Structure 1
Amino acid sequence: MDPIRRVAMISLHTSPLDQPGTGDAGGMNVYVIELSRRLAARGIEVDVFTRATSSAADPVVPAFDGVTVRHVHAGPFEGLTKGELPGQLCAFAREVLRAEAAQPEGHYDVVHSHYWLSGQVGALARDRWGVPLVHSMHTMAKVKNEALALGDTPEPLARIIGEEQVVEAADMLVANTDLEAKQLINLYDAEPARVEVVHPGVDLDVFRPHDKAVVRRELGLPAEAAVLMFAGRIQPLKAPDVLLRAVAELLDRDPALRSRLVVPIVGGPSGTGLEHPESLAQLASDLRLEDVVRFVPPVAQDELARWCSAATLVAVPSYNESFGLVAVEAQATGTPVVAAAVGGLTTAVRDGHSGLLVDGHDPGAWAEALRRVVVDDALRVRLEAGALQQARQFSWDRTAERVLAVYGQAQVDLKEAV
């Protein structure tokens, strides 16, 4: 295969420079920037194309050595929802092609697109530049629509058709887990030979254990508190309401626990959660949990690591996750995870070893899982040790090596097709 010198990374709907935990910024943002950094460390130049959402954003931002974020003007800077972005695909694609046209021929060796909107642009660039397209879905409409959260909105047919087109166009598809690979094959008719499983990673230099007593003091948490934490975007898909309902059930069963219970909700409204940004706070009030719930705005990765270290457990009650980076990040700090047994969370969390997996979203079942970790000291200590072991299986360097191999395979397949 030819050496990979430059990669065009396309992340249309959200910038890797955005703060994860609010708006459309989440695990995909972390994935794009961490993968780009590791590729750059191997001498590969990476240009990340993303839609500009502010007139104050510089058109070209050097993010790290070898990684450049290019803010593409396509549509108004503010006010567009993700559902309105398909109308800006042509404008975005035109600017991406124009940026490449200003370079010598053969500037990029591969296009790697993230999420279906980016895949539509990536398919056009692939045909224009004559280089392979590698695509990462991150989430899939058909999967999401099969397990909709209460109050969530089904993904539209236009997205489903768009995803099917991207799957057909891509030379290689990167799946986060074996389950996602099966979903691509069974739901989207992807050719098995064009699907490769590559697990995301975790930055073990950032997400590492901190002294629990110290970080609790610094964060204003009682030293002996039972800290049940949620971290992520506040939207029906992520199901923070399930945690609150489970906490209410837990306190009904054991009222004495209230005096030492703290439930931090770290994140901001996103997706359909933007329609009613106050709804989770209202639910906490309706459930009479105002004294135990703390709403914390989205925080940077190093600060998130401190919150995870301070927690007794991190709850991930999502209705679907292609992987669930926050679960691995929490485990890397030595904190057990109680997660829904859905999607990639069944890979990220090892049930009974690094955390507990809960079937379904029944508050009673969740309350019991939370109670076990809180009251059973021997179980909690065992899960804390297992959490560290589980997190060590995931490495961004290993992810980058595997993705590079996928790029090479995509090159070979494209040449053979020609």
Structure 2
Amino acid sequence: MLKGKTIVLGISGGIAAYKAATVCSRLVQAGANVRVIMTESATKFITPLTLQTLSRHTVYTDTFDEFDPAVVAHINIADSADLVVIAPATANVLAKMANGLADDMLSTTLLATTAPILVAPAMNVHMYDHPAVQHNMEVLAERGVRFVEPGTGLLACGYVGKGRLAEPEDIVHAVQQWFAHSQDLAGKSVLVTAGGTVERLDPVRFLTNDSSGKMGFALAEAAANRGADVTLVAARTTSEPIQGVNVVRVESAEQMLQAVLERYDTADLVIKAAAVADYRPAVRANSKIKKSEEKLVLELERTTDILKTLGERKKHQFLVGFAAETEQIERYAMDKLTRKRCDLVVANDVSQEGAGFNVDTNIVHIYGEEGLVEALPMLQKREVADRLLGVIVNRMKAKTAKEAAE
């Protein structure tokens, strides 16, 4: 899987730097071409000679170490990378990455590369929980940086808590998973909806919901990372645009319906993660509604059920719906799956802490025709998206094989 892949391994100055030797060795054994960059602090914990011996390449520690006059070292290494892995990543390195600093070989190379980046943080539990560190990680995640979560246990400083570098086998597994997933949707057209639709009462007021669009954006990003041609139909959201994804902005449920139907026939996978209004004002005022009586009575009418419409028109598409519920999760999810002809329904209890709107985490249950397929604990929405895409890809392959056999 890693044969012929060039992996740049960045090692920063924490006690966990000694584990990087095992990471390097296992990547080389797996067939990767590993190029190592160490910060000056990292060399206090493990010698460059160790990594040079294991990688069979020169180890870079200084931006001005130019061993080949034909190239500029940090640009050459940055361009050669198929993946950059930072293990361990200290709080200092995370801050440099988030703020675009380039004051050593590692940070300079990180600014120059266009390769995906996988980060394995390691630090004291209080440092890891510090708002500045968490903010920097959120900024990096929004830019597409992936993380290997640190472990929980006894730390070198004597504290017990989260912050221990993930084990080398877990980091290598994350690298293998990255390349395994990188092209499993190549050639596929993926359509994702996200955000909360807006139904206007007048030019200054509207009905909407609490959806931030974060889950839909994470799914679009995950699909793009797997090689898909992704179109994201987004209503009201708080998420930033994603590189490599075609974003179509809409406002109302009707506009979202039309945007989706225009692209539905050519889609291979459709994920309906948007929170679409069930009702809209029967009459939209052309000017601002003025105060008059103590009460204002609004007449609402049903919007078109987008997911049901897609289910009725489904031919070759693999259709995934979302169900945001507050009770009887399985019952409502299975009902939606059957009535709307979905292949999968992803349900969550939005009343649960960490699973509702406007947060970066989610807790979901994935349902298929046989019932519960997988229950995911509280995870970052990007991790939920990646895990869900894994289930979807396997199901799509099984469906294709079954259809071919028939």
TM-score bucket (shorter structure): 0.3 to 0.5
Normalized per residue, the structure richer in helix is: 1
Normalized per residue, the structure richer in strand is: 2
Q: TM-score, normalised by structure 1?
A: 0.32
Q: TM-score, normalised by structure 2?
A: 0.33
Bigger radius of gyration, 1 or 2? 2
Give the structure, 1 or 2, with the largest relative contact order (CA under 8 Å, sep 6 or more).
1
